[in-house]
Amino acid sequence: MGATNFSNPDFLERVKKGDRAALPLLVEAVLPQLLRAGRGMGFSQEESEDLAHSVFAAFLEKPEQFQGRSHIRTYLFGIFYNLVAERYREKSKALEHDPIDEVMESKFDAHGSWRQPPADIEGQLHAKEIGQIIQECLKGLSQPQRVAFYLREHEEWETPEICKKLGITVTNLGVLLFRARNRLRECVEKKGLKKG
């Protein structure tokens, strides 16, 4: 286990030919990463497994399309992101109203200066339990916000890449990121102030 070299030409040849015995090795190597990405973008465990299934099913339908020019992981993730983008488009036709906009507006006075400046949560952001707090706070984001935030911050995609993949404008991406980050920041601040 774990010793399979996925760049090995023989292995790739078997995969390309649709050798089903090579499949468990491939699934074992890539599935956890696909599920982690799915969960990171706010899909449930079940939805993430569904997505992963569709990735491998699509791959097995036309294994010969994989030319071996990119890493097999990259290739499968390419299929994965296309599927995510499809689901994303079904789910979010328009930007819905989000109360975080009013929360942010209330933080500034008429001149645009801070009325309620950000609390000092720097210590918290470096604390050990911050991972847990963030996971908890991420649940408060809408799915489109999570997808946008994940692609930007975790995958570190650039703006044009995200907009193209999700089929949204730069302005809409800006709104999603603005809301995602402020929701998270607010949530971390609140949880921290409660503790402190």
Comparing CB distances to another protein, the nearer of 9 and 44 is 44
User: Alpha carbon of 31 to those of 6, 25, 101, 121, 142: distances in Å?
Assistant: 14, 10, 37, 36, 25
Residue 18, Cβ density class (10 Å: 0-12 exposed, 13-18 middle, ≥19 buried)? middle
Compute the least distance from the CB of residue 170 to another protein, in Å.
7
Which residues of this protein are in contact with another protein, per CB under 8 A?
20, 23-24, 27-28, 31-32, 35-36, 39-40, 45, 49, 52-53, 56-57, 60, 104, 107-108, 111-114, 117-118, 120-122, 125-126, 130-131, 134-135, 149-150, 152-154, 156, 159, 170, 173-175, 177-178, 181-182, 184-185, 188
Say if CB 27 and CB 50 are below 8 A apart. no
Of 87 and 185, the one with the shorter C-beta distance to another protein is 185
Query: In sequence order, what are the residues at sequence separation of 6 or more whose Cβ sits closer than 8 angstroms to the Cβ of residue 122?
Result: none
Min CB(70)–another protein separation in Å: 22
Whichever of 69 and 156 has its CB closer to another protein, that residue is 156
What minimum distance in Å lies between the beta carbon of 137 and another protein? 9
CB of 7 to another protein, least distance (A): 21
For another protein, the closer of residues 56 and 75 by Cβ is 56
Q: What's the min distance (Å) between Cβ of 98 and another protein?
A: 13
In the complex with another protein, which residue's Cβ is closer, 11 or 130? 130
